[in-house]
Amino acid sequence: MADHANLKTRHTLKFAQPALWVGTHTSPPTVRLKSHKQTGLTLIELVITIVVLGIALSALVSALTTGIGRSAQPMWEGKALELSQAYLDEILAKKFDDTTPLGGGEVLLAASPCTQSSEGQARALFDDVDDYHGVSDAPPLLTDSGISMARYSNYQVDITVLCAGTELGTSNGSLLTDTSLAKRITVSISVPSGEVRSVTAYKGNF
């Protein structure tokens, strides 16, 4: 019996308690998706940009057009002055009136020197300043000039002749009282741009 007890004892197995496994639990990494915010212009911003650019370009084109249009202005001014001087040279070389004595002299008021008269003669036969009243040349026409009329094909010349003695003053500063003592000759030049430049001279009654 004792041997059997000893054998039972020897065959009795002792199992230790399973050890608890203690470790650190590592959770899988969290993947964070980046938010890709859309960038660019909205429709309203695009429309506003187009409107602003349109206004700016309109102003720029307008300024350029004005500058180009006026770039020829000094040339027109110079040619208009030359042409008006050539006309005045021709007109002032004529007599004051049809009744002006040969060699010069005053025309009396009784002879009605302030009545514009034109004998209807050809341009080459004009002999007094009244003959030029109402002349309108387009293109300009001069009977005797050293300048080429071909340079003025786009110009127009209009002439008026009126008695204007009272517009002139005497040596003591007072105005003349007799309108027939002088005639005002106005030569108006229309340049290609449509602007008009006028030059005035007086022809005295003598």
Contact 156, 189 (CB under 8 A): yes
Question: CA 144, CA 94: separation in Å to the nearest integer?
Answer: 13
CA distance 85 to 205: 21
Q: What percent of the chain has pLDDT over 90?
A: 27
| Identity at 149, one-letter amino acid code | M
Q: Can you tell me the mean pLDDT for 82-86?
A: 93
Place of tokens 């695009």: 46
More confident residue, 97 or 144: 97
* pLDDT score of 145 more than 80: no
Q: Return the higher-pLDDT residue of 115 and 4.
A: 115
Please say if the pLDDT value at position 66 is more than 70. Answer: no
Q: Report the 10 Å Cβ neighbour count for 124.
A: 7
Instruction: Give the pLDDT mean for 177-200.
Output: 91
User: What pLDDT score does 5 carry?
Assistant: 47
Instruction: Give every CB contact of residue 198 below 8 A, 6+ residues apart in sequence.
Output: 84, 186, 187, 188, 189
Whether residue 23 has pLDDT greater than 60:
no
Q: Which of 30-39, 52-61, 107-116, 123-132 has the lowest mean pLDDT?
A: 30-39
| Residue 29: band (very low, low, confident or very high) from pLDDT cuts 50, 70, 90 | low
Strand partners of residue 188: 158, 198
What would the mean pLDDT of 29-57 be, rounded to a whole number?
73
What is residue 123's predicted lDDT score, i.e. its pLDDT?
85
Place of tokens 């249009």: 69
Q: What is the pLDDT at residue 70?
A: 61
Q: Which residue has the higher pLDDT, 176 or 23?
A: 176
The whole-number pLDDT of residue 104 equals 79
For range 67-96, the mean pLDDT: 84
pLDDT at 18: 53
Whether the per-residue pLDDT at 137 is higher than 70: the answer is yes
Place 2 in a pLDDT band, splitting at 50, 70 and 90: very low
Confidence of residue 93 (pLDDT cuts 50, 70, 90): very high
